[in-house]
């Protein structure tokens, strides 16, 4: 598969009853500590090329630009660990023993609001937008949640994907209300004439490594197939939003239905099998073939209802089991909601997901040593590496994704319009 610049943005929530009672916001305290740490690079950027900032009650972490789904998984997990470390050092500095700061990677907060976990993919500007995306990508976005859903309890019921549950349109420019499967925001952070940044806001915040990989592997592959004009025969859905609203509340795959134009009804698994067959034609190396095999096994597992085995890779299913287990071992009216929230706690010794991972109940794809390296270093093959090099060489006055102002006597602006440019020599290559 071709390289494709991509990244994710997560709004992490930190919660501390003690700090709240004193009028302090743990997000801002954590950010202050980050700026004083050896992870700080310049401005809002940290040394691995990711960007951290305060965003209306949340700690937002936008990962660095990566070039493929496998790196995406690695740097997203690195970001999660940065948050966990900050939570711990903030706790140590500002709280007494036994007092806690909790940090969550999910989509609905203890204050009862929802917030985003967004994916971004650079796509060729020449692909018709939004027409081609509606025809060829919406069938994917409205059905992929069967293996990319995080699970949550909303409106008193268990749903497979909170963000799919809350999505209300096929196409929309909104990000807070009336959101769409296709978001029309157009901020490429790169050369506008060549690229579009597809901003995906209908995906869930995920803990499971396999689910994160599949989310990016499938979407990356489908975008390539769209650019190659290989999806002209994609299934035409009659009512994608209504169908996903129905399906997202059902944990039994046999109850899922997708209505096609012409009256036929199929399963979301059938739609995903269409994409699986297409993706098979473009996978090249061993790790891509392995990811394709995992996708096939997951779809087989859903159809075969091999739920225990599947829960190792499908987060909504594992969260569902974790909630059931909590109900069996504890009593009280809040047990289900407590387990649902605590599943997404990023603390490795406290979060239910991480407890289950340490028991071997959840499949792993990454090694901790690789994540530790990715916490400090950017990927070597994207603009993040070049931005880091500029910061290492110069004193920085201001910095953004695609522009750096350096001030070493003469104040100069360095433009970085190509998100794939990663070497110092590339700067001269892009000179006009």
Residues 71-130 that bind another protein (CB under 8 A): 81, 84-85, 88-89, 100, 102, 108-116
Among 4, 51, 58, 319, binds another protein (CB under 8 A): 58
**Can residue 144 be called a binding residue for another protein (CB under 8 A)?**
no
**C-alpha span between 142 and 173 (Å, rounded):** 17
Q: Helix 335-342 vs helix 315-329: angle between axes, to the nearest 10 degrees?
A: 140
Q: Does 398 bind another protein (CB under 8 A)?
A: no
- Choosing from 68, 179, 220, 357, the residue that interacts with another protein (CB under 8 A) is 179
The nearest distance, CB 337 to another protein, in angstroms, is 5
Pick from 23, 232, 360, 432: which binds another protein (CB under 8 A)? Answer: 432
Please tell me whether residue 338 binds another protein under the rule CB under 8 A: yes
- Closest distance of CB 175 from another protein, Å: 4
Is 156 one of the binding residues for another protein (CB under 8 A)?
yes
Q: Contact at 8 Å (CB) between 89 and 133?
A: no
Q: For residue 336, what are its two tokens? A: 């289900």
256 binds another protein, rule: CB under 8 A:
no
The contacts of residue 35 (CB under 8 Å, 6+ apart) are none
The continuous run of DSSP H or E covering 217 comes out as helix 209-227
Please, which of residues 263-322 interact with another protein by CB under 8 A? none
* Full 3-state SS string of 310-359: HCCCCHHHHHHHHHHHHHHHCCCCCHHHHHHHHCCECCCCCCHHHHHHHC
Q: How many CB atoms lie within 10 A of CB 108?
A: 22
Residue numbers 341-380 binding another protein by CB under 8 A: 341-342, 345, 347-350, 368, 371-372, 375-376
d(CA 191, CA 77): 28
| Contact range with another protein by CB under 8 A, out of 51-59, 190-198, 258-266, 295-303 | 51-59
Closest separation in Å from C-beta 214 to another protein: 24
Residue 258, Cβ density class (10 Å: 0-12 exposed, 13-18 middle, ≥19 buried): buried
CA 38 to CA 203: how far, in whole Å?
Answer: 32
Contacting another protein (CB under 8 A), which of 167, 208, 224, 272?
167
Kindly determine how many residues on this chain lie close enough to bind another protein according to the rule CB under 8 A.
76
List the one residue from 126, 178, 261, 398 that touches another protein (CB under 8 A). 178
In the range 227-246, which residues lie near another protein by CB under 8 A? 241, 245
């Amino acid at each position: 598969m071709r390289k494709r610049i991509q990244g994710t943005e997560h709004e992490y929530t930190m919660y501390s009853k003690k700090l709240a009672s004193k009028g302090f916001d743990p997000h801002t305290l954590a950010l202050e500590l980050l700026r004083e740490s050896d992870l700080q690079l310049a401005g809002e950027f940290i040394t691995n090329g990711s960007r951290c900032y305060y965003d209306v009650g949340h700690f937002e972490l936008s990962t660095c630009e990566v070039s493929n789904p496998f790196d995406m998984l690695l740097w997203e997990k690195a970001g999660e660990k940065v948050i966990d470390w900050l939570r711990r050092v903030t706790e140590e500095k500002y709280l007494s023993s036994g007092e806690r700061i909790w940090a969550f990677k999910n989509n609905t907060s203890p204050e009862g609001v929802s917030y985003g976990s967004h994916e971004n993919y650079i796509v060729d500007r020449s692909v018709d937008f939004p027409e081609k995306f509606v025809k060829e990508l919406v069938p994917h976005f409205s059905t992929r949640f069967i293996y990319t859903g995080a699970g949550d309890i909303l409106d008193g019921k268990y749903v497979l994907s909170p963000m799919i549950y809350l999505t209300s349109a096929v196409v929309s420019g909104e990000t807070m209300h009336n959101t769409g499967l296709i978001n029309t925001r157009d901020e490429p952070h790169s050369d506008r004439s060549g690229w579009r940044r597809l901003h995906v806001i209908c995906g869930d915040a995920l803990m499971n490594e396999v689910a994160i990989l599949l989310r990016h592997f499938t979407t990356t592959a489908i975008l390539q197939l769209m650019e190659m004009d290989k999806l002209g025969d994609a299934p035409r859905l009659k009512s994608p939003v209504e169908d996903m609203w129905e399906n997202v509340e059902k944990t039994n795959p046999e109850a899922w239905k997708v209505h096609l134009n012409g009256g036929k009804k199929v399963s979301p698994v059938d739609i995903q099998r269409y994409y699986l067959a297409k993706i098979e034609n473009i996978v090249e190396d061993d790790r891509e073939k392995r990811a394709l095999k995992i996708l096939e096994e997951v779809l087989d597992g859903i159809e075969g209802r091999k739920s225990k085995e599947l829960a190792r890779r499908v987060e909504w299913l594992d969260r569902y089991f974790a909630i059931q287990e909590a109900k069996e071992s504890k009593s009280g009216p809040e047990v289900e909601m407590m387990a649902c929230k605590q599943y997404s706690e990023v603390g490795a010794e406290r979060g239910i997901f991480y407890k289950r991972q340490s028991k071997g109940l959840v499949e792993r794809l990454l090694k901790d040593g690789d994540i530790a390296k990715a916490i400090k270093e950017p990927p070597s093959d994207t603009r993040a590496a070049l931005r880091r090099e500029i910061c290492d060489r110069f004193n920085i006055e201001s910095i953004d994704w695609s522009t750096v102002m350096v001030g070493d006597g003469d104040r100069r602006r360095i433009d970085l319009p190509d998100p794939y440019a990663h070497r110092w020599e590339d700067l001269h290559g892009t000179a006009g």
